[in-house]
Amino acid sequence: MEAAEKEEISVEDEAVDKKIFKDCSKIAFYRRQKQQLSKKSTYRALLDTVATGKDSTSFQIINEATKIPLKAEVYGLEGNIFRLKINEEAPLKPRYEVPDVLTSTPSTIRLVSSSEDTNNLVLTDRKGDLKFHITADPFKVDLVSEDVVMSINSVGQLYFEHLQIPPKQRTTKENEDDASVDPSQQENQDDMGLWKEKFRNFVDIKTNGPASIGLDFSLHGFEHLYGIPQHAESHQLKNTGDGDAYRLYNLDVYGYKIHNKMGIYGSVPYLLAHKLGRTLGIFWLNASETLVEVNTEPPVELFIPFLPHYTLTQMGLGDAQRKVRSRTDVHWMSESGVIDVFLLTGPTPFDVFKQYSYLTGTQAMPPLFSLGYHQCRWNYEDEQDVRAVDAGFDKHDIPYDVMWLDIEHTKGKRYFTWDKKRFPNPRRMQEMLRSKKRKLVVISDPHIKVDPNYSVYAKAKEQGFFVKNHEGGDFEGICWPGLSSYLDFTNPKVREWYSGLFAFPVYQGSTDILFIWNDMNEPSVFRGPELTMQKNAIHHGNWEHRELHNIYGFYQQMATAEGLIKRSKGRERPFVLTRSFFAGSQKYGAVWTGDNTSDWSYLKISIPMLLTLSITGISFCGADVGGFIGNPEAELLVRWYQAGAYQPFFRGHATKKTKRREPWLFGKRHTQLIREAIRERYALLPYWYSLFYHAHVAAEPIMRPLWVEFPNDLETFSMEDEYMLGSALLVHPVTEPKATMVDVFLPGSDEVWYDSKTFAHWEGARSVKIPVALDTIPVFQRGGSVVPVKTTTGKSTGWMTNSPYGLRVALSSKGSAVGDLYLDDGHSFQYFHQKQFLHRKFSFCSGVLINSNSLNGKDQLVAFTYSAETSTLSLEKLSLNITANWEVHIK
């Protein structure tokens, strides 16, 4: 056995042990903040320093204990967004500010300022609907919209560690004494992790010393918070107690624990709060290790200690509203950087989605093939294995679109190469897949094997493109190839060079049907602290890894997507799946939930995990069908395929230690059930593609928690076992073994819901007991919707281009329905550059089904069937052109 393989086994076995990862008690900046904040030091805003610039209003904040000033800047942004930045007034050196995440410099709105006294400053936009009210002493901000919806620093948790000269460099006698003597004092400093921090056998030397930041937000009237992926936790954020916080720190956690707040593969420092009548968002733009505490307090009486000239009536708080209100406090803490926070004021969920996308971008429009089914395993052994699996899908009449190859397809884990024994002719293999109108995805990780004879390593080494260690040499760590160096994707030149590696003449054996999977990009380092890179490694610009850890994988996916676009000379859409991600990753492709386990509990937790990703901008998401680790029983595998068929990214995957589990290996009956689930996915492809169009142009999530579609229905606020696909379909996957009945909540008092198979219907605002057998997927169409489908399926999406369309029309209680269909060529950017696309809108009212708004063609009579039992009318063989305008009159 090779050394790397031995390392791989030990890492997999060890990584399940949570002890190799930190909890809050082991995180020094968390301990420091909690200790200092218990002393209640306060900050005061110096409102006599207010300065109004072209884009922002600034003023100083001073700590009453240290007397060191901070600079605060307030920006009003287009779309009802406020931005608050707090930095040192005069830092010893620049502090890291996250680049490249914001799609552009947001357009600012000039804020109008006014103050009645020296202790208050009010900033408003032109409309005056929103007020940013600053109280000077103690420093506090209230965001007012009719009433106070959010307060900042009302709990007094503003925290800012100023950069210091290292103890050994201090020149005054006083500082030399401080740095040298009292062993107990030095021991206490080490324990607090000021200049070095110990964890297990690792010592983190901090050149810049302590630099952490923190701030609290009080959300008035809010009890339901969501977001801050990625955690294997409930969709609604839970309260955190002492020593407990949601951790945002990208880590390779094999077989991660569920119902746990530890960080796993990705981080989006963005949460949403929702209550009746209002949705808010908080986007904390910081890429260093971040902790978030959530505290939903018992109801408290609203108290507004400012603007004495305002009466409660003027603020919209009459006697009926002057009552006990709930409140949730959120405390953000980051290891370094600056405070740069965006307040998204809604007021609706879809307003908040749009506001966040204005900052970070929308979901990339995917190529159509990527919405089909993907077949993956670590590893398909060789070309013959690929051919046999591909043939198995055809033999068993199961559609699929993409074959995947893991690390063993390369020559000794050297990316951009092929193992010539396993894959002697990769082009031939790809041409076979092309003949079936299918694609290939191969893996490309950020670690590069240390081998002077490996051209990728040699060229990167020559140009200085690797992350450096704190001594200035190339950082080296152990990963799949053994000793490896890590490309510094934070460097634009490295990204440009890396994107060039995908060019067909450079990537020998690749063709235009080959796409990419970025894995291990947290980055994973087998013998590193918490299985990742040391925080004092050095990146482009001389920034320490600690400053930007959470954005490393984001940059690799960015470079990969740009490479696939570049190889086609800008004509073709890329497909890139990444394991590690950050805010804005949606612009570059898809994300999955990582190394899950073949267990019912992981199937169940995948739903809230994907809902959380979806509402934080990443619509193209999924979980490995069947569970990556372990061997699923046949019933679990069937249920997972049924769930995965109704989730945006649909891939079966398994680790190499598992038994083979292609869909036809579990007996005839189970093969049939899996086939039916996959075929239903393909039948719904027109609807899926239209949903991705809306995600791309309007930031509308594809998987939606019920509260998004029904924001005034309290019963939906905590639901996470069912969800909406777009606005038309409600899905309740079966996630319990041997289930014979599921309780489905059908929301909306004025809604009608139809079982998608039986057409039985119910009025909304009720729970319904639905009998389920192993062939049952509880899916319900919302009355008032039109869902476009394909009436026949093919071997892959490519075989279905010319297959007929159907419309599933479900009438509302008023007898009407609406829907739409988006079409383009499915692969190029012509929809954007040349506006070559088709967007049809359907409506049914008063017995007339309309495609667009004008009549086209001659009248024709068509056959129909009507079921009085289910009130179902079926029209067939209409021979209508989906691209033309027409009307169908039902008399």
Q: Which residues are catalytic?
A: 519, 522, 595
CA distance 416 to 414: 7
Q: Which of 259, 265, 327, 262 is nearest to 292 (CA)?
A: 262
Tokens linked to 41: 């030091």
Q: Which residue's entry shows tokens 């077989």? A: 255
What is the SS3 assignment for 828-854? ECHHHHCCCCEEEEEEEECCEEEECCC
**Could you tell me the CA-to-CA distances from 406 to 325, 434, 621 in Å, in that order?**
53, 20, 19
Burial class (CB in 10 A: 0-12, 13-18, 19+), 741: exposed
Cis status, amide bond into 523, omega within 30 of 0: yes
At 61, which amino acid appears? I
The number of CA neighbours under 13 Å toward the Cβ of 419 is: 17
- 372: Cβ–Cβ under 8 A, 6 or more apart, which residues? 399, 400, 401, 402, 650, 681, 682, 685, 796, 797
CA distance 786 to 534: 53
In DSSP terms, 294 is beta-bridged to: 330
Q: Which of 799, 793, 767, 790 is nearest to 780 (CA)?
A: 767
Q: Which residue's entry shows tokens 């060789």? A: 382
Phi/psi of residue 698, each to 5°? -135, 5
Tokens linked to 309: 């000239």
3-state DSSP assignment of residue 81 = strand
Yes or no: say if 529 and 466 are a contact pair by the CB < 8 Å rule. Answer: no
3-state DSSP assignment of residue 800 = helix
CA distance 111 to 78: 11
Q: Which residue's entry shows tokens 């908040």? A: 352
Yes or no: say if 389 and 417 are a contact pair by the CB < 8 Å rule. Answer: no
Yes or no: say if 82 and 108 are a contact pair by the CB < 8 Å rule. Answer: no
DSSP character string of 663-716: TTTT-HHHHHHHHHHHHHHHHTHHHHHHHHHHHHHH---SEE-HHHH-TT-GGG
Q: Which of 587, 650, 647 is nearest to 611 (CA)?
A: 647
Yes or no: say if 624 and 592 are a contact pair by the CB < 8 Å rule. Answer: yes
Q: How far apart are the first and last CA of the chain?
A: 75
Q: Which of 510, 337, 483, 487 is nearest to 416 (CA)?
A: 510
Q: Which of 737, 732, 741, 733 is nearest to 772 (CA)?
A: 741
The number of CA neighbours under 13 Å toward the Cβ of 584 is: 24
CA distance 278 to 348: 6
DSSP character string of 146-164: SEEEEEESSS---EEPPP-
In DSSP terms, 439 is beta-bridged to: 402
Tokens linked to 171: 């020149």
